[in-house]
């Protein structure tokens, strides 16, 4: 199982930028591969678009940033959960851990 967290964000999003100071570090500390997808990076966005659209078919309910935790993002992916919006480092860690804990049950 190759668990990853995919961050969908925008270069214009201040909260996304603020979280970039710790989000990758927190994800890696929890044993997750970290994939950063900026909506303006069309090549990377195209690669992971199917995962985002599976969760948000019209993108209307997604937050900035949206972190989708999934298994096998490069293949037959399975979405385990998500964290939406900006959070302080400790809360972000807790929310990611809660997604991982719910998968272990």
Q: Domains of the chain by range and CATH?
A: 3-104 (3.40.30.10)
Q: Which residues pair with 83 in a beta bridge?
A: 67
CA–CA dist 43, 26 (Å, integer): 26
pTM, entire model = 0.94
Peptide bond into 65 cis (omega under 30): yes
Strand 78-84 vs strand 33-38: parallel, antiparallel, or unpaired? unpaired
Compute the C-alpha angle 44/67/23, nearest 5°.
95
Write down the pLDDT at residue 1.
Answer: 59
User: Which pLDDT does position 103 carry in this prediction?
Assistant: 72
- Distances from the Cα of 35 to the Cα of 20, 69, 96, angstroms: 12, 10, 14
d(C-alpha 18, C-alpha 79), whole Å: 25
Averaged pLDDT, groups of 10, the chain, 105 residues long: 91 94 97 96 95 92 94 93 96 96 75
φ/ψ of 33, rounded to 5, equals: -70, 140
């Amino acid at each position: 199982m190759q668990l990853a967290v995919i961050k969908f964000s925008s270069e214009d999003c201040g909260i996304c930028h603020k979280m970039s100071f710790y989000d990758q570090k927190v994800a890696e500390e929890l044993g997750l591969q970290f994939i950063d997808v900026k909506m303006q990076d069309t090549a990377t966005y195209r690669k992971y678009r199917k995962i985002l659209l599976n969760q948000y078919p019209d993108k209307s309910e997604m937050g900035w940033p949206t972190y989708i935790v999934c298994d096998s993002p490069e293949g037959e992916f399975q979405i385990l959960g998500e964290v939406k919006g900006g959070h302080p480092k400790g809360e972000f860690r807790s929310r990611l851990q809660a997604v991982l804990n719910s998968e272990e049950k």
